[in-house]
Amino acid sequence: MNISLKYDVHSACKAILRQQLDKLHIPYKVYSSKEIEIERNLTAEETEMLVESLGQYNMQVLSCHKTDLVQRIKNAIEEMLVNDLMCVMNVSSYLADQLNYSYAHLSSLFSEVAHTSIENFVILRKIDHAKELMLTTNLTLTEIAYRLNYCSVAHLSNQFKKTTGFTPTQFQKIVKMRRENHV
Give the pLDDT confidence of 149-169 residue by residue, as tens digits: 999 999 999 999 999 999 999
Give the pLDDT confidence of 95-127 residue by residue, as tens digits: 999 999 999 999 999 998 889 999 999 999 999
Look at residue 37 and give its three-state secondary structure: strand
What are the angstrom distances between the C-alpha of 1 and each of 4, 33, 55?
Answer: 10, 31, 30
CA 154 to chain centre: 24
Is residue 53's pLDDT more than 80?
yes
Where are the domains positioned within the chain? Answer: 7-61
